[in-house]
């Protein structure tokens, strides 16, 4: 048994009276005396296949055909009088029940459930239209991302998940250890990491960037696409402790090439998903976010606004003067908060905004210092509804300046010796960025909470399933 006959394909069939077999789960049942309507869904599309089952009066086998039950149905495809183009005609003898679902206890009833409730039943929520539509879009978007880079000759580099360096220098790493927590070996009061599995302190990676830089400065344009981990306590609708990130790294590329690549990647993926997931998008446009399709269309068509951090601060100060209230202060030197980012993209520019030239104090050590010695060649892309979706920069390729930045920030230069060496031997201008995959899925689906666009969210105090 191997089911290739997905409902998505069945619904496009043209031949009438064709015998087919369908496998799936019953969504609804409407009984009358000698025939019963079943709506079958197999997870391949939002639309159910309507099945009309002939039977004799009071056939006891009907009792088990409830919402949630899994079945195989053999029948013939016929044109339908209803909403769908086709329906399946069969008799009760051709319905095979694999597994019942007791109507009194099955957690997914016919009614609409809240997304909060669905999070509690993560093992069953992919059987809902919303979560399945989001996950089909997620699958397509991953494929589109690989297509984008592969078609441009980028190499996919698998960077490690266990790492000894903190790329962002923000100290938000999950430690990886096999040392017994109840009896940690110490040496002069300090943990003796030489006894640990790797013989040194290691963590789950926060970013594959530094390792991607190694490959980009040898093979040219590369990218990584994998899980990253941040022990952030921020309990927001845009932060996960485990999220997926796409990180291209381009040799012989400056900040302008970086911005161009990021903008065309976003547009490419949106367009691809619009072309290939049209039914899922129109479902989400109807039930989740009425402005979704128009917004995606607009993002594809318009060039993104490009401004400097200094301009962003000026615009926000103007907004404050005109009466807009923010929770966090706006001041040159402060990081932009998501309320500021969203105001810029949603209210001022009304399109995605690429911000460059951030103060060096609020950005990571590896970003290339501008001639003013105050700002760095960073770029963040802000999008409506979310704020920051991409963070990237041109990298500091000058050995002495990089060393100075590492020391200024109190990082241990020994930890970055190999990173510094890339600047000692055949250094090249290079640049890259990180696109948060789940934030991209929020943009693509109109969903509000990042917990609903990843199959199994890991957040502060939560790692169910
Ligand atoms: O801005 P970030 O921290 O940049 C980096 O990690 C760089 N090393 C990337 C690079 O240049 N190669 O993160 C990049 C993106 C953010 O813009 C955001 O979309 C996403 O990753 N992100 C998160 N997504 C979900 N949950 C979190 N906790 C996230 N932190 C960052
Ligand atoms: Mg960032």
- 238 and 308 in a single domain? The answer is yes
Let me know: does 201 contact 164? Beta carbons within 8 Å: yes
**Atom 20 of ligand 1 has which residue's CA nearest to it?**
436
Task: Please tell me the distance between residue 269's alpha carbon and the centre of ligand 2 in angstroms.
Answer: 21
Task: Please tell me the distance between residue 373's alpha carbon and the centre of ligand 1 in angstroms.
Answer: 24
Q: What is the domain-level CATH number for residue 129?
A: 3.30.930.10
d(CA 31, CA 392): 58
**388 belongs to a structural domain:** yes
Which pLDDT band holds residue 26 (cuts at 50, 70, 90)? very high
Q: Which of 358, 428, 360 is nearest to 399 (CA)?
A: 428
pLDDT tens column, 425-456? 999 999 999 999 999 999 999 999 999 999 99
Q: What is the domain-level CATH number for residue 31?
A: 2.40.50.140
**Atom 6 of ligand 1 has which residue's CA nearest to it?**
207
- 129 and 38 in a single domain? The answer is no
- Predicted pLDDT at 109: 85
Q: Which of 388, 402, 398, 397 is nearest to 438 (CA)?
A: 388
Q: Kindly tell me if the per-residue pLDDT of 2 is higher than 90.
A: no
Sign of CA dihedral 79, 80, 84, 86: negative
Task: Please tell me the distance between residue 436's alpha carbon and the centre of ligand 1 in angstroms.
Answer: 5
Structure-token pair, residue 79: 């044109």
Q: Kindly tell me if the per-residue pLDDT of 314 is higher than 80.
A: yes
Number of domains making up the chain:
2
- 89 and 156 in a single domain? The answer is no
- 58 and 159 in a single domain? The answer is no
pLDDT tens column, 414-430? 989 999 999 999 999 99
Q: Kindly tell me if the per-residue pLDDT of 372 is higher than 80.
A: yes
- Predicted pLDDT at 435: 98
Q: For residue 211, count other CB atoms closer than 10 A to its CB.
A: 23
- Predicted pLDDT at 182: 93
pLDDT tens column, 112-130? 899 999 999 999 999 999 9
Q: Comparing 80-84, 94-98, 105-109, 300-304, which segment has the lowest mean pLDDT?
A: 80-84
- Please report where in the chains the tokens 């040898």 appear, as a residue: 218
Residue 346 buriedness (CB in 10 A; 0-12 / 13-18 / 19+): middle
**Atom 29 of ligand 1 has which residue's CA nearest to it?**
239
Range of the domain at 232: 125-170+206-452
Q: In residues, how long is the chain?
A: 465
Decide which of 147 and 2 is more confident. Answer: 147
* Any ligand 1 atom below 6 A from CB of 368: no
- 213 and 260 in a single domain? The answer is yes
**370 belongs to a structural domain:** yes
- 135 and 100 in a single domain? The answer is no
d(CA 383, CA 354): 9
- Predicted pLDDT at 110: 79
**Which segments of 5-69 are extended strands (E)?**
18-31, 35-41, 49-54
- 97 and 130 in a single domain? The answer is no
Strands 202-204 and 175-176, by their bridges, are antiparallel
Structure-token pair, residue 219: 């093979």
- Predicted pLDDT at 94: 98
- Predicted pLDDT at 232: 86
What's the maximum distance between 2 C-alpha atoms anywhere in the chain?
Answer: 87
């Amino acid at each position: 048994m191997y089911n290739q006959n997905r409902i998505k394909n069945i619904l496009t069939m043209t031949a009438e009276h064709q015998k087919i077999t369908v496998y799936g789960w019953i969504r609804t049942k409407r009984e009358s005396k000698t025939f019963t309507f079943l709506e079958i869904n197999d997870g391949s599309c939002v639309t159910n296949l309507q099945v009309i089952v002939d039977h004799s009066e009071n056939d006891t086998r009907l009792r088990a055909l409830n919402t949630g039950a899994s079945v195989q149905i053999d029948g013939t495809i016929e044109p339908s009088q209803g909403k769908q183009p086709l329906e399946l005609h069969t008799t009760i003898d051709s319905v095979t029940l694999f597994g019942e679902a007791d109507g009194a206890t099955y957690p997914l009833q016919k009614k609409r459930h809240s997304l909060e409730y669905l999070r509690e039943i993560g093992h069953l929520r992919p059987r809902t239209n919303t979560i399945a539509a989001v996950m089909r879009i997620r699958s397509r978007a991953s494929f589109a991302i690989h297509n984008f880079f592969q078609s441009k000759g980028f190499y996919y580099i698998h960077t490690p998940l266990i790492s000894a360096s903190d790329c962002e220098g923000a100290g938000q790493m999950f430690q990886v250890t096999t040392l017994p927590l109840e009896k940690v070996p110490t040496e002069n009061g300090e943990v003796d990491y030489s006894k640990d599995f790797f013989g040194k302190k290691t963590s789950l990676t926060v970013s594959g960037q530094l390792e991607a830089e190694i490959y980009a400065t040898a093979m040219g344009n590369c990218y990584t696409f994998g899980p990253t981990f941040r022990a952030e306590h921020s309990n927001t609708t845009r932060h996960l402790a485990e999220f997926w990130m796409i990180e291209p790294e381009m040799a012989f590329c400056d900040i302008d090439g970086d911005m161009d690549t990021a903008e065309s990647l976003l547009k490419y993926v949106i367009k691809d998903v619009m072309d290939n997931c049209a039914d899922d998008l129109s479902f989400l446009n109807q039930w989740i976010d009425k402005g979704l399709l128009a917004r995606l269309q607009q993002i594809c068509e318009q060039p993104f606004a490009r401004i400097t951090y200094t301009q962003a601060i000026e615009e926000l100060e103007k907004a404050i003067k005109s009466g807009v209230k923010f929770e966090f202060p706006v001041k040159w030197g402060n990081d932009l908060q998501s309320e500021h980012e969203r105001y810029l993209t949603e209210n001022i520019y009304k399109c995605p905004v690429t911000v460059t030239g951030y103060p060096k104090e609020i950005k990571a050590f590896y970003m290339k210092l501008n001639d003013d010695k105050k700002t760095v060649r960073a770029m963040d892309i802000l999008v409506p509804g979310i704020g920051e979706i991409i963070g990237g920069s041109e990298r500091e390729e000058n050995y002495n300046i990089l060393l100075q930045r590492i020391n200024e920030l109190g990082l241990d230069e020994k930890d970055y010796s190999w990173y510094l060496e890339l600047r000692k031997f055949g250094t090249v201008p290079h640049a890259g960025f990180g696109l948060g995959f789940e934030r991209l899925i929020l943009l693509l689906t109109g969903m509000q909470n990042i917990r609903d666009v990843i199959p199994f969210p890991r957040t502060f105090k939560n790692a169910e399933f």
